Amino acid sequence: MPKIDIAAVARITGAGYPPPFDAPLAARVRQRLGEAGGLVDFGLNLMRLPPGGWSSQRHWHSHEDEFVFVLEGELVLVEDGGETVLEAGDCAAFAKGTGDGHHMINRSDATAVYLEVGSRQPADVTTCSDIDMMSTNADGRFTHKDGTPY
């Protein structure tokens, strides 16, 4: 198995959400390790979330399972049922199709580092729980929930 040179993998800062929904993610840093290794069946991202940052807008997936593992720091997982603190060594799994939106917020004073894994299903639709936004893996565009584009 070829070793991935993590230092050589591009760092992507922010997120592709349309304004103003991108603001809480402006300092988030993603390295797409799965792509760097040539993986196509699932994605694996090394994420860095500074204090005050959000991992994403709160969302759920129609056809894609998702998993996170915290390597360093502390995050607050926000779901429909409330909040849970995740520390280094903790993990969380999000089954497809539940309708239970989730995201993480760094409320600590140190950068949190975590792995994010997703199954990359072409039919997946990501629905945001708290705002009028969704997107599809098929084209990656963000639309209102009625399908009109941003």
The tens digit of pLDDT for each residue in 13-39 reads: 999 999 999 999 999 999 999 999 999
In a domain, 128, yes or no: yes
In a domain, 30, yes or no: yes
Specify the residue for token string 């603190």: 85
**What are the percentages of helix, strand and coil residues in the chain, rounded to 5?**
5, 40, 55
What's the domain range around 123?
6-109+119-138
Per-residue model confidence (pLDDT) at position 26: 97
Per-residue model confidence (pLDDT) at position 1: 58
In a domain, 73, yes or no: yes
Domain at 83, CATH number: 2.60.120.10
User: pLDDT tier at 107 (50, 70, 90 boundaries)?
Assistant: very high
Q: How many Å apart are CA 94 and CA 101, to the nearest integer?
A: 9
Q: How many Å apart are CA 61 and CA 97, to the nearest integer?
A: 6
In a domain, 100, yes or no: yes
In a domain, 146, yes or no: no
In a domain, 150, yes or no: no
Residue of 36, 35, 33, 127 lying closest to 71 (CA atoms)? 33
User: pLDDT tier at 140 (50, 70, 90 boundaries)?
Assistant: confident
In a domain, 75, yes or no: yes
In a domain, 147, yes or no: no
pTM of the shown model: 0.94
Question: What total of structural domains would you count in the chain?
Answer: 1
